[in-house]
Copies of this chain bind each other. A is one copy, B any other.
Amino acid sequence: MKDVAARAGVGLKTVSRVVNEEPGVTPETERRVQEAIEALGFRRNDSARVLRKGRTASIGLVLEDLADPFYGPLSRAVEEVARAHGALLINGSSAEDPEREQELVLALCARRVDGLVVIPAGDDHRYLEPEVKAGVATVFVDRPAGHIDADVVVSDNFGGARDGVAHLIAHGHRRIGFIGDMPRIHTAAERLRGYRAAMEDAEITVEDSWMSLGVTDPERVRRAAEEMLTGPEPVTAVFAGNNRVTVTVIRVLAGHTRPVALVGFDDIELADLLQPGVTVVAQDAAALGRTAAERLFRQLDGTLLTPERIVLPTRLITRGSGELPPAG
């Protein structure tokens, strides 16, 4: 900038004025400055700008895994909102590791992001308190925050799972299996609660052998599903706790002749083209991201004061697999 000023034969501040389109610069002067900028290939250094202004026009997004198809649309939605507010998006994957989540969040805070959208891996976010106090807007998505008062945007995991399981019950099933993630993950716990609630509503006593909790890698999901299907009390239907489980269960069922009903949490691509089509409880990932980001920017505007918990509805999409009658 100094160089530009020297070349244009003007003061530093005048260049700054031109760059920021502030009023009070003669067209002639502006032309000279623009010329110098062009000639020198000058680009404003935002780091210095940030240092002076205090705002970075960037927000951080911490999620579990960018490669998971569920987070792609969510991430994209957050980005769109950020873009509409002239902000850039910095993101990182926590890989479901609380320590890594904290490390990422603090790194983002050191960058002085204006706000954070966090899909928590851990369940204790007291480490964020000083940051929040220092003015970093924060919204938690998909799962609630732990030990901290903050905005939360989640899907109705409990209700969705309950409806999905009730749907199976309505089609005559009583022995219904549940395969889900570790209950320490809030969404997994809620979905399990939904499963239990639906079963209880129908006065069905759940056998331990019908449930598999905390399995997550395909191989173990596969084994868990096989056990449920072939045990002494084989299930006639399975409720899959998330998209990855659903996919694996579909593969397992494809290897069996006895038709087994299936409802999965989260929609999956091509679900309609399989035989039978896969019935799912779909959540709107994009809406989660959009809602969270919009709240974030309202916090930054100062329009928003009290933290709130927003629950978005899920939607049961029937495609065939969930409507199969009990067999075996």
Q: Which of B67, B273, B275 contacts A76 (CB 8 A)?
A: B67
- Is A211's beta carbon under 8 Å from chain B? no
Q: Which of B111, B269, B274 contacts A268 (CB 8 A)?
A: B269
Q: A251 — which chain B residues lie within 8 A by C-beta?
A: 273
Do B79 and A68 have beta carbons less than 8 Å apart?
A: no
Do A76 and B69 have beta carbons less than 8 Å apart?
A: no
Shortest Cβ distance from A69 into B: residue? B69
Do A73 and B69 have beta carbons less than 8 Å apart?
A: no
- Is A130's beta carbon under 8 Å from chain B? yes
User: Which residues of chain A from 81 to 102 have any CB-CB distance to chain B below 8 Å in the complex?
Assistant: 83, 88-93
Do A66 and B58 have beta carbons less than 8 Å apart?
A: no
Q: Could you tell me the distance between the alpha carbons of A91 and B69 in the complex, rounded to whole angstroms?
A: 17
Q: A48 — which chain B residues lie within 8 A by C-beta?
A: 51
- Is A110's beta carbon under 8 Å from chain B? yes
Chain B nearest CB, measured from A272 CB (Å): 8
Chain B nearest CB, measured from A231 CB (Å): 24
Which of A38-46, A151-159, A191-199 faces chain B?
A38-46
Chain B nearest CB, measured from A56 CB (Å): 7
Q: A12 — which chain B residues lie within 8 A by C-beta?
A: none
Copies in the complex: 2
Chain B nearest CB, measured from A228 CB (Å): 20
Q: What 0/1 readout, one digit per residue, does chain A (96-122) give for beta carbons within 8 Å of chain B?
A: 000000000011111110000000000
- Is A305's beta carbon under 8 Å from chain B? no
Q: Could you tell me the distance between the alpha carbons of A130 and B133 in the complex, rounded to whole angstroms?
A: 41
Chain B nearest CB, measured from A227 CB (Å): 21
Do B65 and A76 have beta carbons less than 8 Å apart?
A: yes
Chain B nearest CB, measured from A278 CB (Å): 9
Shortest Cβ distance from A61 into B: residue? B91
Q: Which of B45, B75, B107 contacts A66 (CB 8 A)?
A: B75
Do A90 and B90 have beta carbons less than 8 Å apart?
A: yes
- Top 4 A-B pairs ranked by shortest CB distance? A41-B130, A67-B76, A67-B72, A47-B50
Extra inter-chain contacts (16) besides given A44-B110, A67-B72, A269-B269, CB under 8 Å: A41-B130, A41-B133, A43-B131, A45-B51, A47-B47, A47-B51, A67-B286, A68-B72, A69-B69, A76-B93, A79-B91, A79-B93, A89-B90, A268-B269, A273-B274, A274-B274
Q: List 28 A-B contacts (CB under 8 A).
A: A43-B130, A45-B51, A46-B111, A47-B47, A47-B50, A47-B51, A47-B56, A58-B90, A66-B76, A66-B79, A67-B72, A68-B72, A69-B72, A69-B269, A71-B72, A76-B93, A79-B93, A83-B92, A88-B107, A89-B90, A89-B91, A91-B91, A247-B269, A250-B273, A251-B273, A268-B269, A270-B270, A270-B274
Residues of A with Cβ closer than 8 Å to B?
Answer: 41, 43-48, 50-51, 56, 58, 65-69, 71-73, 75-76, 79, 83, 88-93, 106-112, 130-131, 133-134, 247, 250-251, 254, 268-270, 273-275, 286
